[in-house]
Structure 1
Amino acid sequence: MLGIGSITRKVFGTPNDRKIKATRPLVEKINALEPDFEALDDAGLVSKTQEFKGRLGKGESLDDLLPEAFANCREAAKRALGLRAFDVQLMGGIFMHQGNIAEMKTGEGKTLVATFPAYLNALAGPVHIVTVNDYLARRDAEWMSKVYGALGLSTGVVYPRQPEDEKKEAYKADVTYATNNELGFDYLRDNMKSELDQMAQRGHSFAIVDEVDSILIDEARTPLIISGPAQDRSQLYEGIDRVIPELTDEHYTIDEKTRNVTFTDEGNEFLEERLSQMGLIEEGRTLYDPESTTVVHHLSQGLRAHKLFQRDKDYIVRDGEVVLIDEFTGRMMPGRRLSDGLHQAIEAKEGAKIQPENVTLASVTFQNYFRLYDKLSGMTGTASTEADEFAEIYKLGVVEVPTNKPIARVDEDDQVYRTAKEKYAAIVEEIGRAHAKGQPVLVGTTSIEKSEMLSQLLKDAGLEHNVLNARQHESEAQIVGDAGKFGAVTIATNMAGRGTDIKLGGNVDFKIMDALEADPNGDPEEIRARIEKEHEGEEAKVIESGGLFVLATERHESRRIDNQLRGRSGRQGDPGRSSFYLSLEDDLMRIFGSERLDNVLGKLGMKEGEAIVHPWVNKSLERAQAKVEGRNFDIRKQLLKFDDVMNDQRKVIFGQRREIMEAEDVTEITEDMRHQVIDDLVDAYCPPRSYAEQWNLEGLYAACIEKLGLDLPIMTWGQEDGVDQEVMRERIGEASDKLMSEKAEAFGEDTMRQIEKQMLLQTIDGKWRDHLLTLEHLRSVVGFRGYAQRDPLNEYKTESFQLFQGMLDSLREDVTTKLAHIQPMSEAQRQELIDQMRRQQEQMQQAAKQAPAGATNPEAEAAGPAVAASEPLAEGFDETDPSTWGNPGRNEPCPCGSGNKFKHCHGRLS
């Protein structure tokens, strides 16, 4: 008997059916326009693009232009590639233009589908097409650029280690192909630049994400981080360490409670004289000059190292290395280091080797990067199982697009064996049976170890086969292309996002390329005709044998991964079959109570080598997988909630930086900062609703000298009748404005503007780096608040907001103090100061360019670090020739461009 839900679906159709139905009138309109566009010559297709842009400028929307634009694109693809898009491909393009994920089965031509929404949206702004690896980005860009070129649009491709000029040109293109990693890193790098014309990306208008589930879900567990070694300042640490013992009690004050130190006026005078003698600051310069900032910071750290950190209590020195001691347990903490130059100051104090410090320069999660786009869409063969996550995190709908031809693949029920040994014996036997009749077999495994173990079993059984694992993507494409050949056996660890169809009889294009390489003098047309004829016979033989047989050796914890593997068979209406071989010793079965099932099967008298096969088993396994998927979603959602807090702050900082770079004159910004500092000082020393007798005039006088560079008669003002907080505020403000006006005149307006701009950017970047480190530390400890019945997320939100406010206050103070104490100088000195600030900015950007990337939390570490940021190309570098790679680090990305660590790719120990 049918339930109410089933009856409703039969009468009204599913929500997905209704979406499909809604696009049919649009598809019919596109088809009706086909003869008109066929009549156009090649130049006519290009002029249509210009016409569409003009109509867009006059107020028409992209939706208005869709039927004509899609018809124009279909005609261009037909002429450039010889491919005429099917109606279902047009549907997929419509759904993507609407900001959805088009779920299209393997072999349905998703690469071509992406050109339709890309072309339409490129009329209005830049379009990014995101791929899972560099090989696919290059291949798709080269292949589809013929279509865009026929339409009068430019195509670019972004890849690691790309020269800056070339990268900028790639982003200037109408349609740019790139990997998710490279896009994310370029976004971070752009927001570390000091000039607008140095930035590569042109905003985030529209993105189409290929293999969207792999990129936005699987890889989204790990944030992208640009980190770099802080500048090597060993000599500075050592020089400062020689000065610290010369200081006396009158030179500094110590607050042991907060573990902070400050220098007195006497201390500043002594240090300026002494450091000038040592050449650590130029003669005539003060500790308040901008170029002295680093020295002052390290002086403070050096004093802390000497006065607040004791050997054999806070740390020990072992084998010439400073090792911290846990204050609670008294245990050593090897590998743990104090940040911000403090550990180096202790190393200098103890005469140990000074190690360079790594600092996080910038970070972003994929979730928050892709949510920058005004419109996001995607395509994949498997997204419906994660539809809730796509909707909640990215506001993306998932639409299942019908196949061009009905699926003829037979999906068999799972076969469950009691032990792994029995399972693998049955697998080898089944592969042997399929191979004997010439049926190609694709064997899916969950790990490299298991694929190698199965490979050995097949060797022992005398069965020839190929093994596909994390090697160069070019050779992977070749192996996948051959996997549909008559009698082929291919073992693969992960078939997601390979981007190459398994065609029955083998990939004819690869065969033609091989033949042309073997016979370069032969007639290409004759070779093509001969191979296509041979291929037809091969394809017929494979179809007769039953098509591609997908044999999975285990269930993955995600149904999506299983469906990706299964979907490799039965493309474009081809015959095929799929079967999953499981054992009670598999991870998923073991976790979900296989002991009980084992006992039941034992009592039922199940013999060795026998399998249990029933649809109920499939259903229960899918329920188990759904539970695991739900748990993983919750983990990702929780991580994202924490990152959202930082993301709001990141937007403020990056927005402020851009505003500064775009502004010709930042005087207004620095003036607002200075007036805010004055307000804060008056409020601190002359609190509102207090009497003049209660004011701390001495403190205000000292603060005006320190923060504003003003020696004012504060004490006299405070004794005048009728002087209130507002009068003090106005008088200090007027004096400050006058001082800055005199400085601008002395420096020259243009020079002052440049100094202000560079100083703002430099200070913002320094404060943001420190803030990121503080947030990392807060994130690592806030979880313990749960033991006190306090919500860690709320605690994190509250404290990170307070830290951010503190950072902004500190930023205003620092900029105001540096500008107030900067002294007029000669033209040569002015230029040197500007150049110095620029160099410091460039050094940080250079560090970002070569920066390794990693994860910021234990969960992400478990998922593996993100791909490192690109490094400059070595002379003679060739990613296909390992002899030109030099000596890559074991944990660095493999130079071949696979996206894997070197130790897991070409550096893997055999």
Structure 2
Amino acid sequence: MALRDRLRRLVQKPGSVDLAPFRAVVAEAGARESRVRALSDEGLTAAVTAPGAARDDAELCALGREAARRTLGERPFDVQLIGTLALLSGHIAEMATGEGKTLSGALAAAGYALRGHRVHVMSVNDYLARRDAEWMEPLYTMLGVSVAWVGQASTPEERREAYRADVVHAPVSEIGFDLLRDRLATDEAAVVLPEPSVALIDEADSVLVDEAMVPLVLAGATDLDAADPRYADLVRRLRPGLHYATDDEARTVQLTPAGTREVERVLGLDLYAPEHLDTLTAVNVALHAEVLLHRDVDYIVRDGAVKLISESRGRVALLQRWPDGLQAAVEAKEALEASPSGEILDSVTVQELIGRYPIRCGMTGTAMAVAGQLTEFYSLQIAVVPPNRPCVREDAPDRLYATAADKEVAIVEEIAAAHAAGRPVLVGTGDVAESERLARRLSRAGLDRVVLNAKNDAEEAAIIAEAGAPGAITVSTQMAGRGTDIRLGGSPAQAAPGTAPAEAAGSQHDRVAAAGGLLVIGTGRYHSSRLDDQLRGRAGRQGDPGGSVFFASLQDDLVTRYAPDHKVKAAADDDGRIRDKGADWVVGHAQRVAEGVDLELHRNTWRYNHLIGLQRREVLAERAEVLRGDRADRLMAEKAPDRHAELVGLAGTEAVAAAARQIVLYRLDRCWAEHLAFLADLREGIHLRSLGRGLDPLIEFNREAVPAGKRILPRARAESVEAFNALTVTDDGIDLDSADLKRPSATWTYLVHDNPFGSLDERALRGLISMFKSRR
């Protein structure tokens, strides 16, 4: 390696990709620009679709740039083409907010499609999937590539048609749910997803890290899993400290001896007697719902239903719910009608879903902070793409306060000063409750503000469009994945009558820029430094002026939960501010601990789900042979030859083969669902064993889960043969009802956050419950 290359790699960010080869390709594309501009629209399309054209990266960039200029009115900057090349090389492109990731992604998606791949562009919600597909459609069309989108409301036929397109934009969850439904298909024609090829992921760090272990679940709806409202009423009357104790760091709550006596007095039973295990469990779940889950923090109530809030995005988590009766307990707490529940038929984590794709790439504004995880779990590297214009945003040091009240007073004063100077202000809060509390403070101070949180996230685009207007004050929950840039001066649509939009936009932009640009204020550090960076990155887009500052207090959840034992000796000023540099370390330490906890959780859940994934793969391989071939018919002919021959004589070869297929598919699906239920019970009981003997819970789990997995296929085959032998034939043909192939009357999908091994305290609590189970 040349000395120059060694020096470049030496100063390059660890885990990042050398951009020099991409820059050379972009320079070559620039040299071809005048030739490409001379092409007609038809000539451009013909040139890019010509055999081998898409393999020439420089030609693809030159033709893609010109197509974007003609169809979108946007000529991609060189750095956007570098981002495109990084994606086409299978990397994560880190591009700052406002640098045009959407266009870079579209050009890369088209490039992959022109090379013969089907591309799934995965976004974080329906709105972004539809917006980007419709926005980029003219570009795709000129490049000879078909595009479609899938959303939550898409019908099976619409989904099937969409997946036939070269490029499909869809939320990650919808692709996952389609995969789960395909895995239960009983007719090959009902399958909607094609074989996976390329996954191009927007907000890649959020999807690949924050949501990697979120299981997407397909359940067979059965009945209402309602929680007894008596328990919600009971725990509501218990007193903290006296009747129950909480561990803020581990997010657990347990009855004290006094609490146990009070519960037993009210219910009139021995709570810890083995025969009352169900009551003990119900009380503990109700207590968890009452004490640890807070309205307008962890969830909101909308349209008579509990809606979970995504911690990493600050908005309603569509279709998401809590497991193990906790959802029903929260519904009972809020006196709401119970939502349906049922048996889990199958599940897949986001990480497993992405892992199916042979080619993976993505884009985000904050990837380097999790470079290790992206490499460890996905073998992905990061291309850090520089901005088109240098960032001139001024990031002020954090301001630390002794109490949350002192902090909020200082935040209001900071907002008032910026507002008086004509600067727009974006305030990032931790949750819905904090956003509304701060909004009330601002209102009392006579400051007009707009609030963006989970309660009005449908109005997001309109709110963000005006967040850069002179003097605007926008109070928002987490800004990650919002997908909309904040432009200085606000929307041109709000121009004064008689003023041209472009002229008005320029005038307002200059006015705000002269005042210092957008000021971003964080009301506290998030549990991940990436979320801090995403909030901060809303200011200073494309070389605009701007600033950011974070306020923190020693009473913030981050500090009390992850650094509760660290005491600050420095005295506070009269306004409550602590200026000691050593005190600032506490907040950073708490954030590093939180990130470490999240990483360990990721590793643990990956280890657990890796085993389940291997077992599922064996079942799916067998299922695919049954669904698409004659494996079921051959199995019956081998294991029940006399009955097979008899049925063929009565009903015909095709009818017997179809019946065998349905029987084996059903038994495979039933055995898998029962195996998942077994693993869930095993997971609960494993904690007691690991605590009592000092053993690794994962090893103990594998000790029983592995042999159980090996029994799935033999059992399914044996049960299939038994059902085949019991078939009867009527005048209408083979009577499948006699084989008892009753599937759920309806299925539904949802997401659930999962921590299979939990904290030490959670293991102890679950182990106690499991001990009582073992005595029954």
**The TM-score by the shorter chain falls in which range?**
0.7 to 0.9
Q: Which residue of 1 aligns with 2:148?
A: 156
C-alpha separation in 2, matches of 1:570 and 1:128: 31
1:102 aligns with 2:96: no
Map 1:198-277; keep pairs closer than 5 Å. Answer: 198-230=190-222
For residues 374 and 151 of structure 1, the distance between their equivalents in structure 2, rounded to whole angstroms, comes to 24
What amino acid maps onto 2:66 in structure 1? E
CA contact (8 A) 1:466 1:491 kept: yes
- The yes-or-no answer on 1:804 pairing with 2:703 is no
Contact 2:17/2:382, CA 8 A, preserved across alignment = no
In structure 2, the residue matched to 1:780 is 684
Is the CA contact (8 Å cut-off) linking 2:121 and 2:200 kept in structure 1? yes
Of 34-43 and 139-148, the range deviating more from structure 2: 34-43
The CA distance in 2 between the partners of 1:441 and 1:430, in whole Å, is: 10
Equivalent in 434, 452, 457 of residue 468 of structure 1: 452
Q: Aligned pair 1:74/2:53, yes or no?
A: no
The residue that corresponds to 2:127 in the other structure is 135
- Letter of the 1:530 counterpart: A
Say if 2:138 is the partner of 1:177.
Answer: no
5 Å-filtered alignment, 1:451-462, equals: 451-462=435-446
Report the Cα offset of residue 176 of structure 1.
0.6
Structure 1 residue 821 displacement after superposition: 3.7
Give a deviation string over 1:674-701, Cα, whole Å, max 9, x none: 2xxxxxxxxxxxxxxxxxxxxxxxxxxx
Which residue of 2 is the match for residue 636 of structure 1? 602
Deviation string for 1:625-667 (max 9, x for gaps)? 2232122110121011111111111122222222222115643
- Residue 388 (structure 1) aligned to one of 363, 372, 380: 372
Q: Which ranges of structure 2 fall in alignment gaps of 5 or more residues?
A: 1-5, 225-268, 284-338, 760-776
Larger CA deviation: 785-794 vs 627-636 = 785-794
State the alpha-carbon separation in 1 of the partners of residues 366 and 579 from structure 2.
Answer: 25
Bigger Rg over Cα? 1
Question: 1:847 and 2:732 equivalent?
Answer: no
Q: How does 1:602-617 map to 2 (within 5 A)?
A: 602=571, 606-609=572-575, 611-613=577-579
| 1:548 correspondence with 2:509 | no
RMSD: 3.0
Q: Per-residue displacement from partner, 1:246-285 (whole Å, max 9, x unpaired)?
A: xxxxxxxxxxxxxxxxxxxxxxxxxxxxxxxxxxxxxxxx
Q: Given residue 155 of structure 2, which amino acid in structure 1 is its aligned partner?
A: P
Per the alignment, in what secondary structure is the counterpart of residue 502 of structure 1?
A: coil
C-alpha displacement of 1:405? 0.4
Q: Decide whether the 8 Å contact of 1:413 with 1:618 is kept in 2.
A: no
Aligned to 2:21: 22
Q: Partners of 2:644 and 2:576 in 1: how far apart?
A: 89
Determine the structure 2 residue equivalent to 1:84: 75
Q: Does the aligned pair in 2 maintain the 1:414–1:617 contact within 8 Å?
A: no
- Flag the 1:461–1:356 CA change in 2: closer, same or farther, 3 A: closer
Give the direction of change, closer, same or farther, for the CA distance of 1:822–1:14 in structure 2 (3 Å limit).
closer
Residue segments in structure 1 that go unaligned for 5+ positions in a row: 1-6, 57-61, 233-322, 338-354, 520-526, 675-735, 862-910
Q: Matches of 1:671 and 1:748 in 2, distance apart?
A: 14
Q: Contact 1:445–1:451 (CA<8 Å) still a contact in 2?
A: yes
Distance 1:79-1:474 versus aligned 2 partners, 3 A rule: farther
* C-alpha distance in 2 between matches for 1:530 and 1:427: 37
Q: Does residue 1:625 correspond to 2:591, yes or no?
A: yes
- What pairs up with 1:349-364 in 2 under 5 angstroms? 358-364=342-348
Q: Is 2:539 the counterpart of 1:569?
A: yes
The letter for the 2-side match of 1:781 is G
Residues 619 and 77 (structure 1 numbering): CA distance in 2 closer, same or farther, change over 3 Å? farther
Q: 1:760 aligns with which of 624, 643, 664?
A: 664
Moved more, 420-429 or 748-757: 420-429
Closer/same/farther in 2, CA of residues 19 and 167 from structure 1, 3 Å limit: same
Cross-structure match for 1:240: none
* Partner SS, residue 721 of structure 2: helix
Give the alignment's TM-score, normalised by structure 2: 0.79
Q: Do the aligned residues in 2 keep the contact of 1:413 with 1:615 (CA within 8 Å)? A: no
Kept after mapping to 1: 8 A contact 2:94/2:384: yes
Residue aligning to 1:39: 38
C-alpha separation in 1, matches of 2:89 and 2:159: 29
2:424 corresponds to 1:424 = no
Q: Deviations over 1:693-725 (max 9, x none)?
A: xxxxxxxxxxxxxxxxxxxxxxxxxxxxxxxxx
Instruction: For residue 376 of structure 1, give the secondary structure of its aligned residue in structure 2.
Output: strand
1:510-529 residue pairs with structure 2 within 5 A?
510-511=493-494
Alignment partner of 2:279 out of 330, 333, 350:
333
Per-residue deviation at 1:671? 4.4
CA displacement at 1:389 relative to structure 2: 1.2
Supply the distance in 2 between the matched residues of 1:336 and 1:532 (Cα, whole angstroms): 61
Cα distance in 1 between the residues matched to 2:677 and 2:379: 31
Counterpart position of 1:501: 485
CA 1:142 to 1:618, structure 2 compared with 1: closer, same or farther past 3 Å? farther
Q: Deviations over 1:186-209 (max 9, x none)?
A: 110011111121111112111111
Contact 1:324–1:336 (CA under 8 A) maintained in structure 2: no
Specify whether residues 162 and 418 from structure 1 end up closer, same or farther in structure 2 by C-alpha distance, changes over 3 A only. Answer: same
Percent same amino acid at aligned positions?
A: 35
Secondary structure (helix, strand or coil) at the match of 1:114 reads: helix
Q: Hey, what's the Cα distance between the residues in 2 that align with 1:853 and 1:447?
A: 20
The separation in 2 between residues aligned to 1:381 and 1:185, in whole angstroms, is: 27
The one-letter amino acid paired with 1:668 is R
Q: For residues 752 and 566 of structure 2, what CA distance do their matches in structure 1 show?
A: 42
Going from structure 1 to structure 2, the CA distance change for 1:325 and 1:766 (only over 3 Å counts) comes to farther
Asked if the contact 2:393–2:545 (Cα under 8 Å) also holds between the matched residues in 1, the reply is yes
Residue identity matched to 2:746: A
Partner of 1:237: none
Distance in 2 between residues matched to 1:45 and 1:776, nearest whole Å: 56
Measure the CA separation in 1 of the matches of 2:564 and 2:626. 62
Per-residue CA deviations over 1:195-238 (Å, capped at 9, x if unaligned) read: 12111111211111111122222223421111122499xxxxxx
State the AA in 1 paired with 2:534. Answer: Q
> In 2, distance between residues paired with 1:91 and 1:619?
37
Q: Which residue of 1 aligns with 2:240?
A: none
The structure-2 alpha-carbon separation of the partners of 1:664 and 1:591, relative to structure 1 and needing over 3 Å to count, comes to closer
Structure 1 partner of 2:508:
538
Counterpart CA distance in 1 for 2:203 and 2:757 is 23
Q: Give the C-alpha shift of residue 31 in structure 1.
A: 1.8
Q: Per the alignment, do residues 87 and 614 of structure 1 end up closer, same or farther by CA in structure 2, a change over 3 Å counting?
A: farther
Task: Tell me, in whole angstroms, the C-alpha distance in 2 between the residues paired with 1:626 and 1:65.
Answer: 44
The residue that corresponds to 1:679 in the other structure is none
CA contact 2:16–2:382 (8 Å) conserved in 1: no
The amino acid across from 1:206 in the alignment is V
Q: Give the aligned residue type for 1:110.
A: K
What is the TM-score when the length of structure 1 is the normalising length? 0.67
Q: Using the alignment, how far apart are the partners of 1:756 and 1:546 within structure 2?
A: 73
Q: In the alignment, which residue of structure 1 is the partner of 2:118?
A: 126
Counterpart for residue 359 of structure 2: 375
* Post-superposition offset of 1:545: 0.2
1:807 Cα offset (Å): 2.1
Q: Which of 569, 581, 584 is matched with 2:551 structurally?
A: 581
793 and 149 in structure 1: CA distance in 2 versus 1, 3 angstrom threshold: same
**Cα separation, partners in 2 of 1:450 and 1:102, compared to 1, 3 Å:** same
Answer yes or no: is 1:792 the counterpart of 2:697: yes
CA shift in 2, pair 1:393/1:593, >3 Å: closer
What is the deviation of 1:569? 0.3
